[in-house]
Amino acid sequence: MGRPMKFEAEAVVDKAVEVFWRQGFAATTPQNLVDELGIGKGSLYNTFKSKHHLFELSLRRYSAKRVAALTEGLEGPGPVLPRLREAMRTLAGIGDHRFGCLIVNSVAELGSADEGVAAVAKELFGQIEDAFRSAIERGQADGEITSRRPAGVSAGSLLAAVIGSSVLAKTGSDPADLNRALDAALQAV
C-alpha cells in the first residue's frame, strides 16, 4: 500500500500554471516542476502521469479561469462597450504581466504539432468569441452598439485583436500602443 498524498492535486495544478506560463513547456523540466511545486518526482509521475499531462491540465485550468472571469466581467447591468474593452485588455495581458496569454504562448511554441494544446486553444478561443458575441448582441439590443455588422463577425475581429495584442504584449510593446489597437478594433464593432 502506497503512502497517502501530502499535497492537494488541484493546488499543484494551479502552481504548475504559473510555472508553464512563465517558462513555457520546453523550458520547464521535470526537476523545475518538482522544485517549484514542492512535490517529489515520484508524486509528479504517479499523480500527473507525465510533464505533458500536467501541462494539459494546467492549460485547461488556465482556460477555465479565463472563461469564468470573462463571463463574469461581461455580464451584468450597464454599458457593454467598457466591459468589452476591459475584457480585451485583461485577456491580452496589457499592463498586468509580461507573460502574454498562456494558451497563445503554447500554440506559438508547439503549433499544430501538439493536438492536445491545439484542442484546448480552439476550445478557449471559441468560448471567448462566444462571450464577445453575446455581449455585442446585448449592446445591439440595448442600442449601445448601432453597427449592423453581424455580432459574430465583430466577435471574431475582437478575438483576433486580443490574440495579436497578447503576442505583442509579450514582446514588451508599449501598453499605450496596444490599448489604442484594441480600442480601434472595438470601435469597428
Convert the pLDDT of each residue in 53-101 to its tens digit: 999 999 999 999 999 999 999 998 889 999 999 999 999 888 766 677 8
Domain boundaries, the chain: 4-188
Q: What is the pTM of this model?
A: 0.89
Cell numbers describing residue 66: 479565463
Query: What is the model's pLDDT at position 7?
Result: 64
* Mean pLDDT, residues 100-111: 90
CA-CA-CA-CA torsion sign (83, 87, 89, 94): positive
**Chain mean pLDDT for the chain:** 91
What distance in Å separates the CA atoms of residue 39 and residue 51, rounded to the nearest whole number?
13
| C-beta separation of 179 from 106 below 8 A | no
Query: What is the model's pLDDT at position 171?
Result: 84
Query: What is the model's pLDDT at position 1?
Result: 41
Query: What is the model's pLDDT at position 53?
Result: 94
Residue 93 DSSP symbol? T
CATH dotted code for 4-188: 1.10.357.10
